[in-house]
A and B are shown apart, each in its own frame.
Chain A
């Protein structure tokens, strides 16, 4: 996959996939969308369209830290690499400077990030790109992509990553209440707290249904989409016990206790 990077604009089917992604994102952005759902689709699109091995979205929590709001995988090790960037790393540098950071070969970056680079290499990552989520002068977070080969993401890929980051920015900031203009701080905090609700729900389902966090998230996502509900609402119902974990069953091959349609 990574060999294709330089030639990525010509990758068969990519234009099609790209067009479909933007259609899905545009559909998601209408009326009362769920921000966790939108950002989750965005990081999935990054992996699919950019041939990234992993992708994550970090937001300025306005308390001096970066918080993970979306990740292409729920593995603890990946989350730790994202969170490590509160100390150092490409995403932190990108957010501070409000400018992209692209490293084709992580080995070379060891002196720059002595903590981050070994952790990323140990996870099998060899290249990294971070693009800012920016609104005018303010940077609200960063989109972080990892590749498993020591090859730089092409300029086209970086432009596409920036386009997806811009969609994320719009998604986070444009949600307006019907009656009043709202501020960046309100929207950022809303996105961050929504993500925490989803994490708590994943824990409930993972424990109750003996699945891992990825499967638990899948179950929430599927239930929301199948029943046309907002992802965060489903998560809240799970945490509060208003929705039995057996109803939000694990995705693959599980028996559904309630007999509802999938």
Chain B
């Protein structure tokens, strides 16, 4: 049962990965997941080389995606053959494996919302070169959507939240609206839940009341709205 639900929801990260390949001029894309317990796993990959990139990093515990998750910073490697551009000292085994697989450029994006860390989106290309400004924007937005999709995947007991995942075009959870993040911290304490759960609760309340997320967040911050365990 759980497996069936999980597999169906994994279709969203897969769609996001496929869109990246179609829109961002990359050869392949993959999403990996870090659960709250720190366990890494591969969610999806668009081709065998992408799967290899994910697998290498999972096995070796090193590479751009590992660093992206650890530091919360995108790691953009335009040319694996350019010594100044890569961390040969830091990723020796990954470099060797990636080169063998025909990878020339890797762009790893953390799936983070502040302290919430759910995984990484890895894009690769068989040619060197920068991603470029427009495509970088696209990749960051894809990462935002993938982060939301994975949040729901991780918390698969929250079935009623499924429909809210990653569909709000007018909303930019990763960076805008500081009040959303302040409210997340407050709700986390009010309900004694994880940051991930608090963020989803906030989104669920916005969805169920048909209000913009930021408005609900401001109500929480201004203490006009409190979440209580009885509501849930």
Q: Which residues from chain A sit less than 8 Å from chain B, CB to CB?
A: 61-65, 67-68, 76, 79, 83, 86, 177, 179-181, 183, 185-187, 189-190, 192-197, 199-208, 213, 235-236, 239-240, 245
Q: Which residues from chain B sit less than 8 Å from chain A, CB to CB?
A: 71-76, 84-87, 89-90, 110, 112-116, 133, 136-137, 140-141, 144, 172, 174-179, 181-190, 195, 218, 221-222
**Least CB separation from B76: chain A residue:** A183
Contact B175 A196 (CB under 8 A): yes
25 contacts between A and B (CB under 8 A): A63-B140, A76-B179, A76-B218, A179-B87, A185-B136, A189-B74, A190-B73, A193-B112, A195-B178, A196-B112, A196-B114, A199-B178, A199-B181, A199-B182, A200-B182, A200-B195, A201-B185, A203-B181, A203-B187, A204-B189, A206-B185, A207-B190, A236-B115, A239-B185, A240-B195
Contact B90 A179 (CB under 8 A): yes
Question: Which residues of A sit under 8 angstroms from B137, Cβ to Cβ?
Answer: 62-64
A177 and B175 CA atoms in complex are apart in Å by: 23
A203 and B190 CA atoms in complex are apart in Å by: 10
Contact A63 B144 (CB under 8 A): yes
**Least CB separation from B115: chain A residue:** A239
Contact B73 A186 (CB under 8 A): yes
**Least CB separation from A191: chain B residue:** B73
Q: How far is the CB of B86 from chain A (nearest CB, A)?
A: 6
Q: How far is the CB of B148 from chain A (nearest CB, A)?
A: 14
A68 and B110 CA atoms in complex are apart in Å by: 20
Contact B185 A207 (CB under 8 A): yes
A196 and B73 CA atoms in complex are apart in Å by: 13
The 3 A-B residue pairs whose C-beta atoms are closest, nearest first, are: A203-B185, A196-B114, A199-B181
Contact A65 B172 (CB under 8 A): yes
Among candidates A79, A196, A199, A204, residue contacting B188 with C-beta atoms closer than 8 Å: A204
Contact A197 B179 (CB under 8 A): no
Question: Which residues of B sit under 8 angstroms from A186, Cβ to Cβ?
Answer: 73-76
Among candidates B112, B133, B185, B189, residue contacting A199 with C-beta atoms closer than 8 Å: B185
Question: Which residues of B sit under 8 angstroms from A62, Cβ to Cβ?
Answer: 133, 136-137, 140
Contact B176 A200 (CB under 8 A): no
Which of B112, B184, B185, B188 has the most chain A CB atoms inside 10 A of its CB? B185
A141 and B73 CA atoms in complex are apart in Å by: 18
Contact B115 A200 (CB under 8 A): yes
Contact A185 B76 (CB under 8 A): yes
**Least CB separation from A180: chain B residue:** B87
Contact B184 A203 (CB under 8 A): yes
A200 and B74 CA atoms in complex are apart in Å by: 21
Contact A189 B73 (CB under 8 A): yes
Contact A65 B115 (CB under 8 A): no
Known: A185-B136, A193-B112. A68 touches B74 (CB 8 A): no
Contact A206 B182 (CB under 8 A): yes
18 A-B pairs besides A62-B137, A185-B74, A200-B184 with CB distance below 8 A are A61-B172, A61-B174, A86-B176, A180-B87, A183-B76, A186-B74, A187-B73, A193-B174, A195-B178, A196-B174, A200-B116, A200-B181, A204-B186, A206-B186, A207-B186, A213-B182, A235-B115, A240-B195
Question: Which residues of A sit under 8 angstroms from B177, Cβ to Cβ?
Answer: 83
Known: A199-B182, A204-B185, A239-B185. A63 touches B175 (CB 8 A): yes
Known: A63-B172, A64-B137. A196 touches B74 (CB 8 A): no
Known: A195-B178, A207-B185. A200 touches B72 (CB 8 A): no
A206 and B183 CA atoms in complex are apart in Å by: 10
A75 and B204 CA atoms in complex are apart in Å by: 25
Contact A200 B172 (CB under 8 A): no
Which of A61, A203, A236 has the most chain B CB atoms inside 10 A of its CB? A203
Question: Which residues of A sit under 8 angstroms from B89, Cβ to Cβ?
Answer: 179
Q: How far is the CB of A22 from chain B (nearest CB, A)?
A: 28
Contact A181 B182 (CB under 8 A): no
Question: Which residues of B sit under 8 angstroms from A183, Cβ to Cβ?
Answer: 76
**Least CB separation from B181: chain A residue:** A199
Question: Which residues of A sit under 8 angstroms from B71, Cβ to Cβ?
Answer: 190
Which of B87, B114, B183 has the most chain A CB atoms inside 10 A of its CB? B114
